[in-house]
A = this chain, B = another copy of it.
Amino acid sequence: MMTINHVKIFAPATLANVGPGFDVLGIALDQPGDIVIAERKNEKGLSFSLHDASNPLPGNHKNVAAHVANLMLEEFNPPYGISMILQKNMPIGSGLGSSGASSAAAALAINTLLPKPLAKMDLVRFAMEGEMLASGSPHADNVAPALLGGACLIRSYHPLDILKLPVKNDLFWIVAHPHIEIQTQAARAILPEMIPLTIAVKQWGNLAGLITGLIQGDSGLVGRSLIDHIIEPVRAHLIPGFYEVKAAALTAGALGFSISGSGPSVFAVTPTRELAVRVATQIQKTFLTLSHIKCDIYISNINLEGANILEQSS
């Protein structure tokens, strides 16, 4: 096998907490995403740099990509060091799995340079440590789809059991990132500790419907299952004009609409690209006219590939 000395990796943004799937379901998007460039160097250890002057990201020690890279170098102790550049293309605290994408890209970069690379699934536990650093919680619903692609179910954390669902990938997912910031930790702090059993039953009925709809490619079922009775009601007020934007999206033809991750990004789903564009326009317009908030829009099917190698050389 050829030794790989240089690699360039892309890892995509992800949509987590998909409607009723809080903490267990995540979906990979085509864009945005982060890029990690890594190469072997003679001196052991990691030298890390960040290419994004516009983002106030923490430096080397607290950057999630550097953290994941350091953990993997410690564990595998290869006879070389790594020089790593993170090209950060999305803001932290967006609800688009920004730290998950950086962690996934770093994990796949280090892995690709290893003498005996692991399977992508085995990288999830390293990338989860990036999430631990970023949010204080080692969740996998962003890093799993960022690495593996597709719609990933985290059935269980102990033991870790991640399933890439066999989705029919014909729906269009619109993600809108309004230019406001929500800290993941703050968004988690407002969650209720206890919930009524009757509400939990509604939530898991909808999640079961959503999973079935994704697997069968039943757009109507996906749409009417995208109801979140627990998380959306408490987080919606963190996003100015949330309910007006939601109403505008549904009126414009979205099958469903909810918060992406812990916000402030929101997402909608449509059966066609044409409708997706129409819905996106209404989301953007409503955020702007109502709350004077600009937002970036991304439209894609589910990204089935996940983190991937853009370039490699020996």
Contact = CB atoms under 8 A, between A and B. Distances in A.
Interface string A205-242: 11111011001100001001100001000000000000
Contacts of A211: 208, 211-212
A161 B212 contact: no
Given A208-B207, A211-B208, A201 B161 contact: no
A192 interface: yes
Closest 7 A/B residue pairs (Cβ): A155-B209, A204-B204, A24-B205, A200-B200, A194-B194, A23-B201, A155-B205
A202 interface: yes
A29 to B, nearest CB: 20
14 contacts: A21-B204, A155-B209, A156-B202, A161-B224, A163-B212, A166-B216, A191-B197, A193-B197, A194-B194, A195-B195, A200-B203, A204-B204, A204-B207, A207-B208
Interface of A: 20-25, 153-156, 161, 163, 165-166, 191-197, 200-209, 211-212, 215-216, 221, 224-225, 230
A72 to B, nearest CB: 27
Contacts of A191: 197
Contacts of A194: 194-197
A20 B204 contact: yes
A121 to B, nearest CB: 15
Contacts of A207: 204, 207-208
Contacts of A206: 155-156
B201 A24 contact: yes
A201 B188 CA distance: 14
A219 to B, nearest CB: 14
A65 B196 CA distance: 33
Nearest to A231: B197
Contacts of A24: 201, 204-205, 208
A163 B209 CA distance: 8
Contact of A200 (B153, B195, B216): B195
B153 A209 contact: yes
Contacts of A204: 20-22, 24, 200, 203-204, 207
Contacts of A161: 209, 224
A145 to B, nearest CB: 14
Contacts of A21: 204, 208
Nearest to A25: B208
Contacts of A202: 156
Contacts of A221: 155, 163
Contacts of A23: 201, 205
Contacts of A201: 22-24
A194 B208 CA distance: 21
Given A194-B195, A195-B195, A208 B155 contact: yes
